[in-house]
Amino acid sequence: MQAQSILTEKDTLPAINIKRLEKRFGNNYAVAGVDMDVPPGAFLVLLGPSGCGKTTILRMLAGLEEPTSGEIHFGDQQIASGTSGIIVSPGDRDAGMVFQSYALWPHKTVQENVEWPLKIKQWSPDERRERVKEVLELLSIGDLAARYPGEISGGQQQRVAIARTIAPKPKVLLFDEPLSNLDAKLRAEMRTELLRIHRLTGATSVYVTHDQVEAMTMASHVAVMNHGKVEQFGPPRTLYESPATRFVATFVGTPPANLVHAQIEDDRYLYKQIDLGPARPSSTDTPCWLMYRAEALKLCQTADERRIAVTFAEGTPVAGRFIITVWDERQRISVVMDHLPEAQLGDQLYLEFPEHPTMVYED
């Protein structure tokens, strides 16, 4: 007898479904037609520069902004529609938000801060006491329960903010650049902590940042945003290995990829009259952009037919190697090398290209 699936339509729905979402402020589009399906339990990072629309999307998910048009669903529940005017209040969305500023009550103790949303949801005193103890221990701050926010460090305040958010057991967790106020060492520690909390809660998380290192290390899915639109959506590895657009190529990766503007002549790529190899069969004779990873390029002390003259800018040690920055006229180019070149600021070096670019983008 053939086995039958017991999954219901509800079980297969995305945890978050965004359709044709737009948000205008006057005549300006902060979000311009975004579509996205976020699977249950995902850790989605909205990544992009300031002003790209990522925080506006997060605020619409939280109920702090209303969409101009389009729809948002959490599972099978429509929580916002700019078309029909349906707007579910923030408190009824089964979502919790961690703010950049922590937003703790200064006159309440750590325990009282964490307990507050449970009071709002009318948990019994015994349930509140048990849950507060549980989440404080989960965040390793059980010994801070009687202290006030002004008596603990920034990193501890952030843990309190997270504890308060997860205490009511929301299905969706929203993070608005929660680590931006922490120093580099504490940021790295809290990234690990946030992922641990994410796994333990099983909630679907949406995390906003402009830091692509955070995105690539934390996310199960990344939405790279630019000018209110999603340039690419997918797992971090896919975005790194196969960036769909020039913007994604130059925004994702450490260091990001390099682009050079090449001509096509006689089915060959040419840049500053340097032959960069055969053009792809589908290429036309119009100019295009060639993508090169920093580790595929080479810096040399002498000229050659496959090298262009560049100016040495800086060298930065990273994980036992060096990221070398050079100037090609007004364009910055990054090269990863095992050692620093023998050069001073402003010295001339020569950049050598590999036989083939990693990716090619139309002009």
Task: List, in order of start, the domains of the chain with CATH numbers.
Answer: 16-251 (3.40.50.300), 258-362 (2.40.50.140)
CA distances 62 to 58, 59, 203, 303, Å, are 6, 5, 15, 57
CA angle 313, 185, 183 (to 5 degrees): 80
The span from the CA of 268 to the CA of 84, in Å, is 54
The span from the CA of 55 to the CA of 47, in Å, is 10
179: alpha, beta or left? (left if phi > 0; alpha if psi -120 to 50):
alpha
The span from the CA of 245 to the CA of 242, in Å, is 9
CA distances 301 to 9, 272, 284, 306, 331, Å, are 63, 19, 35, 13, 20
Tokens of 92: 């009824």
The span from the CA of 152 to the CA of 123, in Å, is 27
CA angle 220, 161, 99 (to 5 degrees): 65
- Whether residue 341 has a cis bond before it, omega within 30° of 0: no
pLDDT at res. 284: 66
Closest to 309 measured CA to CA, from 340, 344, 333: 333
pTM across the whole model: 0.88
CA angle 77, 80, 86 (to 5 degrees): 95
CB 209 within 8 A of CB 47: yes
DSSP alpha helix (H) spans, 69-171: 110-120, 125-138, 154-166
DSSP state of 252: S
pLDDT at res. 10: 54
SS3 54: helix
Closest to 96 measured CA to CA, from 15, 25, 166, 184: 166
pLDDT at res. 1: 36
* Gyration radius from the chain CA atoms: 25
Spatial strand order of the sheet with 307-318 comes to 298-300, 348-352, 307-318, 321-328, 331-337
- pLDDT per residue, tens digit, the chain (363 aa), is 344 444 444 557 899 999 999 999 999 999 999 999 999 999 999 999 999 999 999 999 999 999 999 999 999 999 999 988 899 999 999 999 998 888 899 999 999 999 999 999 999 999 999 999 999 999 999 999 999 999 999 889 999 999 999 999 999 999 999 888 888 888 888 899 899 999 999 999 999 999 988 999 999 999 999 999 999 999 999 999 999 999 999 999 889 999 999 999 988 999 998 999 999 876 667 899 999 999 999 999 999 888 999 999 999 999 889 999 999 999 999 999 999 998 999 999 999 999 999 999 987
